[in-house]
Structure 1
Amino acid sequence: MKKDIIFFSQDGSGLTSTSANHIANMAKEMVREVESSLAGLTFYSTSVSLIGSDNINTLKQGNSKDDLEQVQHKLMKIAKANSLIAWLHEAIKAKERLLSEVERMTVKEYMDLKGIDPIILSEPLHVLTEDEYYASQTIDQRNRYYELEALAAVLGKAIHPNGALADARVSLNEKIRNPKDVNGEGRDALIYSYTATVQPEEVDGVYFKLQKRFREVQADVNAMKFECQKAVKTSQIESQIANAEATAKRNAQIIQVTADLNAYIKQRTREIADWKIMIPQSLKGIYDEVSHLGKS
């Protein structure tokens, strides 16, 4: 952009692109006419006569010394006019480039131009994990959780179906209902008799006591797990809220910067469109001559 600003005046004087194009076209016409005059240069005259006649007819008069002395002046005029044409054409293209650069400006380019810090979406807030929750507990708290979990597992294994106590209780009740069992036939038959060594109600007492204890321990374990899950869920919600707020803030910044960019493009486009093309001092003479063509 900076290299193109040299074509334009800072005080509002100069030519519009339309006027510059018109002057360039007039300069082209001047060059064409001057080149045409140079193309016809002839430094000798051509005449014709009949043999035996003293009458000589001039067919073409050669150019004079004055014409010769004008050659350098004309060449300089062509060079100056071509320089003016080149300057005006480059100035017109420079304005078109400047307008195009502004119209195509990206948000990042605008932010760099205005020194605005990049809009970066912050890293998502960390979500607490179960391991991290338990790691945050005191030694006693963590040890109690492990103890209760181990106790619940042991009690559950004993009192649940296929557990040692559960199966022993079922087996005792079965043998009380069927205290004898015959195995084999005739003289070879064996009779097995079963006698309770512990009363069923005593077994039931221990069984139901352990069952009650299991429910209490399991409730404590579940309560501790619930606290863990609640902490993790709270962390998830806090993270979601923080991330949503960060995203909303970022989007609002992008919307604002985009709006500022559009306003800047409109303003800058108007400014550049109003810039006038200045004529360098060395081209003022040829410019004045071209601009006055056809006015006299």
Structure 2
Amino acid sequence: MSLKERIGTVGLGLMGSSIATCILAAGHEVTSLVKDESEAEPARKRILGYLTELHDEGMLKESPETVAGRITITTNIAELVGHEVVIESITEDVEAKKAVYNALETVLSNTAIIGSNTSAIPVSVLQAGLWHPERLLGIHWAEPAHITRFMEVVCGKDSDLKYAQRIVQLAESWGKEPSLLRKDIRGFITNRIMYAMLREAFNLVENGYATVEDVDRSLRNDLGYWITLAGPFRFMDLTGIPAYLTVMKDLFPDLDNRPTTPEMMEQLVAAGAKGVSNAHGFYPYTPESAEAWEKAFIDFSYDIRKLAEKYAQK
């Protein structure tokens, strides 16, 4: 494989490692900046494991060891000199992210693109105070980043659209099906829609209309059957638009629109619940069942990607 341009990343936690894996698998060399040298070896093992998964699933033709050999992990930001794309994936903290961008601007060219893997912070907030805010973009990945086709490329108020279009083209070469947000809005596309759904889900459970299990079952067996193929607007096209207007007029006034967080959620988090990662969530878990669900999530992610590619949008 002829190598493509070298891409820079910042942060090699779970998500950062997954992002680096995606870019490596697409044929790039990668330079990854970390805070401490102790992070390097665990990240290498994690990335090699992800690449091995991709190889076993038939999504990587080269040997995982060969591909993993294309990453350079460093604590020296000067090693990012000459990179034209650098993607940051650190904690969701505005000041921490800004500190990274300020440092990057001292070593990158004025036209190098800086991407932030933020899921909620407005890009315009992250751009404030930069020497060249026009080249900062939100690049929102889904987990696991090396498997899913999702990506949102987000412009802030100062972003130059040409940089966003460049990332869209790159993302397509990485096997993504990116969406472009031309205007900045908190939460972007999927988070805004997902959290509106979550608010109504909690409303149904907390007011005794249905259990957690019943809500999950209904969505899995309705929404879960069509949304990978169609998305909401295509689905309305497929199933008849006028009926949706009728239901909207009747249902919209009755939907939950509270501005506060659900009490049920507050209580769970206060009790230490993190989900399958600590076997404490909305459902009861043993350590073994939590591990089984984590594996099922990865297996399903591969299967659903293959199904989505069979019905690829044109």
Instruction: Report the structure, 1 or 2, having the larger helix content.
Output: 1
Report the TM-score range of the alignment, normalised by the length of the smaller protein: under 0.3
Q: Structure 2 length normalisation: TM-score?
A: 0.15
Q: Structure 1 length normalisation: TM-score?
A: 0.16
Q: Looking at both structures, which has the greater relative contact order when contacts are Cα pairs under 8 Å and sequence separation is at least 6? A: 1
Instruction: Report the structure, 1 or 2, having the larger strand content.
Output: 2
